[in-house]
């Protein structure tokens, strides 16, 4: 027994002698073919006999297999550090996410921010995702060595200079160093700082301001790759920082701020450095622009040394360099103070962008089925363009893009993505007629393989000729708002074909709760419709048809809907929502509330909703809204003023959660029928199906036209218009739903009304 104890004691005592004294390490990989990848393990060790004999490392591939990877090279870096490089190929049998890991005994002694580091293994891992949906992936390549130095009380900066060959987006974060079995090192803590110790999530700059004690510190940096919002891989680098007691300041770097260059142009600038203590400085740079496979950037000289070293950066860019993510150039300046060489690091992001498409032009066809015809010059600037995107908005936005600005600004909607060779497009407005008095404005951009967009084209705007009548008022009668009668007005066209003879006459048509009726015929352009009460209808819209003295049709105005106001009472709140179903531009909306005996304006808004919290439960309140608008046409009245009906709403305390035998039927206010299988269908968010016997759902667009109706208690609307089957465009729609349900008191019918937003 004594001999066994002595043997165990001997084995324990010699383990540190054979430890490799790891300082830092990382695993990276490159794709070769099919599911085969080449992996590179780089370790940084204290040179000793154990390291000398460690000519291979055991690596677990994440698929149940492991193997020893041979060392292919090594280099003595000085500062009691040697770098070893291990390489091996490995093939995976199928798609999946794999964690490649290496654990080696042991770390070097004396690491301050972990207990007994000499007995703690060095564990590192990287993650590889193989998926046909994201394409092949190469990990980041870390161009800056993971051994660095600093001084107590002085700022320390480090950047791993991560280069992603695929142009993926990178994010950085600090994570605890890992030990045996990939677990966090017991008792590990981040280095102490007088101000901060953090890493920038976007640039990868590690800032330590300022170290408070000397010693060796290990930190781990997790670098994750993202492609179209999906994580596709990661690398963990375990690095070591040596902090000494020294009185030295870091060098200063003179570098341009983030910039861009149009593909085909040359980017040129000077990088320089100096040391505030007058020390000699070595200046060099690394990063993505210097690593691209085709026509990389150059540095002249590649490294400079002196009191004021300077390097010229030159990059003759090509179309193949265009990508969504910028290229990061990391500049390193290291002084030659004795005994500690301090470094500074700065980075500049360089975006390579595609030129704008030229000579965009647009015009309306003159046929009865009006279409907007767009043309532009062939995009010959870059042959690697993937597609052409067409964007549209109503109303001009005549901005000049900033030099580095790509794509279009918010306010435009993409209406088409075309093949790269396209030079024209016909906009049918989704089968909905274009409106008079509205500027339809277009821009086009080129799109590249990773989704990067070029600079936007110039904007071009077109407007329909004013050759049809236009509705100018579809309003509650402002002389008797409580009566709910409709005041209707329209304007004659200003561009009338000479073939038509005067006098002209009109037929005013009304669409009322699903029925179409002619309510007026004559030569006047105003009408008071006393047969309706706006407060008691679900949908109401009007249009006029014009004819000449010989009864020749002269065209029909666009349909304009009444301003429909709806309200819901909550606990000490009233929520108002309205449908602006006008064919003109709405400039502003005012909300009125009856206080005592007078209606008072309580809000102005550009939204379609308002919540009034200045209410008391169980008290009934009256509201209406008024809108101001205009047409972009000369000779028409301004402003166009329209009123909603007056509605009454009673706020009430929120009801408690219903008992199991009470019916529940709640509807969402938004859904996204974009084919991603998430929230693609408009269905109830809460329902007790056994207690709901029937629904009568009607959904309207902003002009009061039915787009969908059903008696299905689950609704199941996929966002397509009933009849045509065409997708309804992004925007707000309104519903009225009568729900028949069984309650403890017997069958009842409850009316729900509100709005639903389609987002595509």
Pick the CATH number of 361-462 from 3.40.190.290, 3.50.50.60, 3.40.50.10320, 2.60.40.10: 2.60.40.10
Question: In terms of residues, how long is the chain?
Answer: 760
Asked if residues 27 and 235 have their Cβ atoms less than 8 Å apart, the reply is yes
Sheet of 372-375: strands edge to edge?
361-364, 372-375, 424-427
Predicted confidence at residue 746, as pLDDT, reads 85
Q: Which residues pair with 262 in a beta bridge?
A: 353
Give the separation between CA 132 and CA 284, rounded to whole angstroms.
39
Predicted confidence at residue 369, as pLDDT, reads 67
pLDDT in tens, 188-200: 999 999 999 999 9
Asked whether residue 573 carries a pLDDT value surpassing 90, the answer given is yes
Region label for 551, one of left (φ > 0), alpha (ψ between -120 and 50) or beta (otherwise): left
Asked whether residue 451 carries a pLDDT value surpassing 80, the answer given is yes
Predicted confidence at residue 10, as pLDDT, reads 36
Predicted confidence at residue 703, as pLDDT, reads 66
Same fold, 361-462 and 470-555: yes
Q: Measure Cα distances from 288 to 28, 163, 204, 377, 519 in Å.
A: 16, 5, 14, 33, 71
Q: Pairing state of beta strands 670-671 and 746-758?
A: parallel
CB atoms within 10 A of CB 508: 23
Predicted confidence at residue 9, as pLDDT, reads 36
Predicted confidence at residue 580, as pLDDT, reads 77
Asked if residues 264 and 355 have their Cβ atoms less than 8 Å apart, the reply is yes
Predicted confidence at residue 8, as pLDDT, reads 35
Residue of 516, 558, 514, 517 lying closest to 537 (CA atoms): 514
Which tokens belong to 50?
A: 């154990």
Q: State mean pLDDT over 46-59.
A: 84
pLDDT in tens, 668-720: 877 878 776 667 889 888 888 888 999 999 898 876 777 899 999 999 999 98
Residue of 443, 426, 439 lying closest to 359 (CA atoms): 443
The distance between the two most distant Cα atoms of the chain, rounded to a whole number of Å, is: 125
Asked whether residue 510 carries a pLDDT value surpassing 80, the answer given is yes
Which tokens belong to 93?
A: 């049998």
In percent, the amount of the chain with pLDDT more than 70 equals: 94
Q: State mean pLDDT over 471-499.
A: 93
Mean pLDDT check: name the lowest of 203-207, 266-270, 582-586.
582-586
Q: State mean pLDDT over 621-639.
A: 91
pLDDT in tens, 663-673: 889 888 778 78
Residue of 76, 180, 202, 161 lying closest to 119 (CA atoms): 180
Predicted confidence at residue 429, as pLDDT, reads 85
Q: Pairing state of beta strands 259-262 and 343-353?
A: parallel
Mean pLDDT check: name the lowest of 374-388, 529-543, 698-712.
698-712
Predicted confidence at residue 657, as pLDDT, reads 59
Q: Report helix, strand or coil for 627.
A: strand
Long-range CB contacts (within 8 A, 24+) of 269-273: 269/312, 269/313, 270/310, 270/311, 270/312, 270/313, 271/310, 271/311, 271/312, 271/313, 271/331, 272/308, 272/309, 272/310, 272/311, 273/308, 273/309, 273/310, 273/331, 273/333, 273/344
Predicted confidence at residue 465, as pLDDT, reads 84
Pick the CATH number of 470-555 from 2.40.50.140, 3.30.70.3150, 2.130.10.10, 2.60.40.10: 2.60.40.10
Region label for 202, one of left (φ > 0), alpha (ψ between -120 and 50) or beta (otherwise): alpha
pLDDT in tens, 116-172: 999 999 999 999 999 988 889 999 999 999 999 999 999 999 999 999 999 999 999
Please spell the DSSP secondary structure of 238-271, one letter per residue.
EEEEEEE-------EEE-PPSEEEETTSEEEEEE
Asked if residues 12 and 4 have their Cβ atoms less than 8 Å apart, the reply is no
Mean pLDDT check: name the lowest of 69-73, 169-173, 227-231, 676-680.
676-680
How would residue 17 be classed by pLDDT, with cut points 50, 70 and 90?
very low
CATH topology of domain 252-353: Immunoglobulin-like (2.60.40)
Region label for 539, one of left (φ > 0), alpha (ψ between -120 and 50) or beta (otherwise): beta
Residue of 16, 211, 237 lying closest to 140 (CA atoms): 237
Which tokens belong to 51?
A: 């390291």
Q: Which residue has the higher pLDDT, 497 or 444?
A: 444
Q: State mean pLDDT over 29-57.
A: 91
Predicted confidence at residue 67, as pLDDT, reads 96
Predicted confidence at residue 559, as pLDDT, reads 84
Which tokens belong to 602?
A: 């309580």
Predicted confidence at residue 677, as pLDDT, reads 64
Predicted confidence at residue 131, as pLDDT, reads 92
Q: Which residue has the higher pLDDT, 559 or 69?
A: 69
In percent, the amount of the chain with pLDDT more than 90 equals: 69
Predicted confidence at residue 729, as pLDDT, reads 80
Q: What is the mean pLDDT of the chain?
A: 90
CB atoms within 10 A of CB 242: 17
CATH number of the 665-758 domain: 2.60.40
Which tokens belong to 303?
A: 């490294």
Which residues contact residue 301 at a Cβ distance below 8 angstroms, ignoring those fewer than 6 apart?
A: 311
Q: State mean pLDDT over 536-551.
A: 90
Give the separation between CA 532 and CA 536, rounded to whole angstroms.
8
Asked whether residue 356 carries a pLDDT value surpassing 90, the answer given is yes
Domain boundaries, the chain: 17-147+158-192+211-239, 252-353, 361-462, 470-555, 564-649, 665-758
Model pTM score: 0.69
Predicted confidence at residue 497, as pLDDT, reads 87
Asked whether residue 18 carries a pLDDT value surpassing 70, the answer given is no
Pick the CATH number of 564-649 from 2.60.40.10, 3.30.70.1560, 3.30.360.10, 3.40.140.10: 2.60.40.10
Give the separation between CA 297 and CA 273, rounded to whole angstroms.
20
Predicted confidence at residue 760, as pLDDT, reads 66
Which tokens belong to 613?
A: 């919290």
Give the separation between CA 219 and CA 160, rounded to whole angstroms.
12
Predicted confidence at residue 492, as pLDDT, reads 92
């Amino acid at each position: 027994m004594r001999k066994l104890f002595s043997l165990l004691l001997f084995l324990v005592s010699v383990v540190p002698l054979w430890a490799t004294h790891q300082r830092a390490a990382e695993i990276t990989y490159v794709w070769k073919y099919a599911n085969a990848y080449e992996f590179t393990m780089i370790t940084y060790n204290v040179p000793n006999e154990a390291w000398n004999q460690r000519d291979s490392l055991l690596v677990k591939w994440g698929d149940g297999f492991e193997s020893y990877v041979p060392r292919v090279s090594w280099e003595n870096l000085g500062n009691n550090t040697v770098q070893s490089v291990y390489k091996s190929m490995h093939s995976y049998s199928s798609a999946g996410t794999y964690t490649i890991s290496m654990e080696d005994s042991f770390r070097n002694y004396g690491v301050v921010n972990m207990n007994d580091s000499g007995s703690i293994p060095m564990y590192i891992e990287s993650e590889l995702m193989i998926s046909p949906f994201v394409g092949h992936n190469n990990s980041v390549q870390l161009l800056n060595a993971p051994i660095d130095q600093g001084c107590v009380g002085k700022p320390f900066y480090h950047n791993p200079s991560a280069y992603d060959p695929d142009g993926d987006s990178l994010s950085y974060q600090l994570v605890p160093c890992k030990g045996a079995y990939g677990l966090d090192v017991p008792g590990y803590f981040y280095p102490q700082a007088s101000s901060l110790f953090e890493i920038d999530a976007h640039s990868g700059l590690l800032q330590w301001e300022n170290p408070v004690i000397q010693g060796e510190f290990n930190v781990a940096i997790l670098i994750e790759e993202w492609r179209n919002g999906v994580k596709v891989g990661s690398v963990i680098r375990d690095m070591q920082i040596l902090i000494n007691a020294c009185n030295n300041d870091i060098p200063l770097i003179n570098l341009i701020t983030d910039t861009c260059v149009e593909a085909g142009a040359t980017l040129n600038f000077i990088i320089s450095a100096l040391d505030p203590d007058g020390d000699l400085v070595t200046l060099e740079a690394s990063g993505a622009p210097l690593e691209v496979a085709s026509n990389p950037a150059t540095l002249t000289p590649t490294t400079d040394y002196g009191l004021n070293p300077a390097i010229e950066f030159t990059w003759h860019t090509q179309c193949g360099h265009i990508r969504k993510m910028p290229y990061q150039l990391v500049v390193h300046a290291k002084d030659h103070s004795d005994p500690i060489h301090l470094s500074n690091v700065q980075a500049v992001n360089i975006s390579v962008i595609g030129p704008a498409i030229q000579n965009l032009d647009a015009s309306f066809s003159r046929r009865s089925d009006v279409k907007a015809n767009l043309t532009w010059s062939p995009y010959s600037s870059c042959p690697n363009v993937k597609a052409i995107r067409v964007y549209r908005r109503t109303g001009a936005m005549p901005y000049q893009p900033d030099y580095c600005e790509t794509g279009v600004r918010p306010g435009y909607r993409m209406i088409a993505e075309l093949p790269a060779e396209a030079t024209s497009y016909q906009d049918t407005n989704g089968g909905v007629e274009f409106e008079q008095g509205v500027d339809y404005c277009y821009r086009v951009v080129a799109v590249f393989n990773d989704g990067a967009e070029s600079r936007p084209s110039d904007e071009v705007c077109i407007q329909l000729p004013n050759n049809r009548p236009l509705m100018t008022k579809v309003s509650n009668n402002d002389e008797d708002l409580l009566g709910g009668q409709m005041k209707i007005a329209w304007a004659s066209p200003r561009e009338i074909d000479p073939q038509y003879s005067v006098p002209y006459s009109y037929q005013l048509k009304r669409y009322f709760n699903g029925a179409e009726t002619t309510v007026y015929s004559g030569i006047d352009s105003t009408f008071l419709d006393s047969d309706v009460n706006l407060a008691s209808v679900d949908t109401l819209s009007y249009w006029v048809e014009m004819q000449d003295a010989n009864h020749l049709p002269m065209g029909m105005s666009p349909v304009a809907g009444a301003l429909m106001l709806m309200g819901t009472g909550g606990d000490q709140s009233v929520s108002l929502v309205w449908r602006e179903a006008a064919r003109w531009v709405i400039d502003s909306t005012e909300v009125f509330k009856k206080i005592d005996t007078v209606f008072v304006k309580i809000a102005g808004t550009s939204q379609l909703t308002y919540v009034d919290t200045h209410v008391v439960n169980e008290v009934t309140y009256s509201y209406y809204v008024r809108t101001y608008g205009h047409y972009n046409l000369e000779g028409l009245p301004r402003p166009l003023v329209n009123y909603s009906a007056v509605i009454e709403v009673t706020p009430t305390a929120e009801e408690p959660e219903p008992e199991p035998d009470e019916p529940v039927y709640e509807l969402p206010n938004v859904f996204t029928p974009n084919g991603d299988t998430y929230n693609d269908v408009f269905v109830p968010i809460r329902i007790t199906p056994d207690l709901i016997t029937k629904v009568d759902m009607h959904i309207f667009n902003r002009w009061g036209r039915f787009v969908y109706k059903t008696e299905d208690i689950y609704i199941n609307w996929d966002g397509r218009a009933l009849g045509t089957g065409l997708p309804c465009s992004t925007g707000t729609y309104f519903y009225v739903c009568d729900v028949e349900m069984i309650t403890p008191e017997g069958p009842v019918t409850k009316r729900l009304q509100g709005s639903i937003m389609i987002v595509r």
